[in-house]
Amino acid sequence: MGMYIIRRMLLAVPLLWAISLLTFILINLSPMDPAVVVLQAQGVPSITDELIERTQQQLGLDQPFLVRYLNWMLDCLQLDFGNSYITGQSVWALIGPAFLNTLRLTLVSAVSIIAVSVLLGVLCALQAGRVLDKSVRTLAFILTAIPSYGLAALLVWYFSVRLDLLPTSGMDSYRSYILPVLIITISYAGLYFRNVRSSMLSNMNKDYVLYGRASGLPERVITMHILRNSLQVAISIFCMAIPIILGSTVVVENVFAWPGLGSLSIRAILSRDFPVIQAYVLILAVSFVIFNAISDMINAAMNPKLRNGL
């Protein structure tokens, strides 16, 4: 297992490097000269060509691409992503807290997603083909087809305004989590419970189940076996879901005024705040790779067969 972890981590390194290169290239595609942008951010009233040249030198922009890339990467490794063009604050000071807020929402949602997915998946698998199975699946198809902002609006209006049970927005107490988590859960559990279900079903047809039945094991014990094997799917869903949700809470954050990465990134895009966009892209891509690696490791720990895949 130790070897596997090392090999898996080594595999992530070239990926991380490719991501950093891609991000850097992306930012260099930006139609604006970084030197001009920096001068603007400083509020310099008249930007002359001479001034631009001087700033380019100061910022090291006159150096070859590879040198710039290396410098940039070294800065990033120290969490120095430069300063926001709009507020002048350091990008990390903006993104750090936002990242934590989104991570909190994500983790709570992931737990809720896995609980709901496993519950529904197991129920549907045991009842496969019957009314319960069909109705849950039909309902899931329709619920996941509702745009999350429509769903959010409806739920906020009903629970917060009409019933006056929950806050409409913000991040004040645990009650603020309920609605956003509920909406994220509906969006994802409606997709993921089908994975649990189909994994349960395929386990049910496996030889060990037939053998167990034939040798007279109690049905309860067999179900437990199936459950244990199917849980693996659930765990891998859990790990996969985290980085996905991390980046896709944009709409929910927008509707609930959640002070997270999603809100930050939209604001940055609409105000063309390139350093923030760049850091956002980099941080999310890196966490995607890291969570994927963790997910693979957990899977491998549970299923030794997978370790040979590397």
Partner 1 sequence: MSKSFAKIMLLIALAATILSACSPAGESSSRPTASASNNEITYATAKDINDMNPHLYTGSMPAQGMVYESLVENTSEGIKPLLASSWEISKDGKVYTFHLHQDVKFHDGEPFNAEAVKQNIDAVQHNAEKHSWIKLSTKIVECKVIDEHTVQLTLSEPYYPALAELSMTRPYVFLSPKDFKNGETMNGVNGYHGTGPYVLTAHEPEQYATFEANTDYWNGAPSIHKITAKVLPAGETTFLALQKGEVNFAFTDDRGADSMDVEAMKQLEASGDYQIVRSESMNTKMIVANSSRSGSPVHETAVRQALWHAVDRETISRDIMGGTETAANTLFSSNVNNADVPLETRSYDLAKAGSLLEQAGWKLDAGSGTRSKNGVPLSMSMYYDSNSSSQKIQAELIQSAAASIGIQLKLVGEESASIANRRTTGEYDLLFNQTWGLAYDPQSTISGFTSENAYLHTTQGIAQSGQLYEKINQVMVSSDEQKRKALYADILRTVHKEAVFIPLTNGNITVVAPSNLQHISFKQTQYELPFELMSFQ
Partner 2 sequence: MNVWKNSAMDKMGQLSLIVVVGVIIAGLSAPVLAPHDPLAVQMSLRYAEPSWEYLLGNDQLGRCILSRLLYGIRPSVLAVLVVLLLSVLIGAILGFLAGYFRGKTDTWIMRICDVVLSFPGYVMTLAMVGILGVGLENILIAFVLTKWAWFARVIRTSVLQYTEMDYIQFARTTGMGHGAIIRRHLIPVTFADIAVTASSSVGSMILQISGFSFLGLGIQAPQAEWGMMLNEAREVMFTRPEMMLPPAIAIVIVVSAFHFLADSLQVALDPRLRQSGLQPDRLPDQQEVAVRL
Q: Where along the sequence are the contacts to partner 2 (CB under 8 A)?
A: 15, 18-19, 22-23, 26-27, 29-31, 137, 141-142, 144-150, 153, 157, 184, 187-188, 191, 195, 198-199, 201-202, 233, 236-237, 240-241, 243-244, 247-248, 250-251, 254, 265-266, 268-270, 272, 274, 277, 280-281, 284-285, 288-289, 292, 299
Candidate list 272, 287, 290, 294; residue touching partner 1; CB under 8 A: 272
Q: Is 156 in the site for partner 1 (CB under 8 A)?
A: yes
Q: Does 263 sit near partner 1 (CB under 8 A)? A: yes
DSSP track, 226-261: HHHHHHHHHHHHHHHHHHHHHHH-HHHHHHHT--SH
Nearest approach in angstroms of CB 189 to partner 2 is 11
Give min distance, CB of 250 to partner 2, in A.
6
Q: Are 72 and 27 in contact (CB under 8 A)?
A: no
Contact call for residues 283 and 95 (beta carbons, < 8 A): yes
Return the H-helix or E-strand segment holding 310: none
Q: 40-61 b/e with 16+ CB inside 10 Å = b?
A: ebeeeeeeeeeebeebbeeeee
| Residue 158 found at the interface with partner 1 (CB under 8 A) | yes
CA-CA distance, 4 to 301, in Å (whole number)? 9
- 195 is in the binding site of which of partner 2, partner 1, none (Cβ under 5 to 8 A by kind)? partner 2
- Closest to 242 measured CA to CA, from 302, 293, 310: 293
- The nearest distance, CB 46 to partner 2, in angstroms, is 26
Report, in Å, the least distance between residue 216 CB and partner 2: 28
Amino acid present at 310: L
Using the rule CB under 8 A, is 154 a contact of partner 1? Answer: yes
Residues 241, 246: Cα–Cα separation, whole Å: 8
Give the footprint of partner 1 on this chain (CB under 8 A): 36, 40, 43-47, 85-89, 94, 97-98, 131, 134-135, 138-139, 142, 153-154, 156-158, 160-162, 164, 167-171, 254-257, 259, 263-264, 267, 270-272
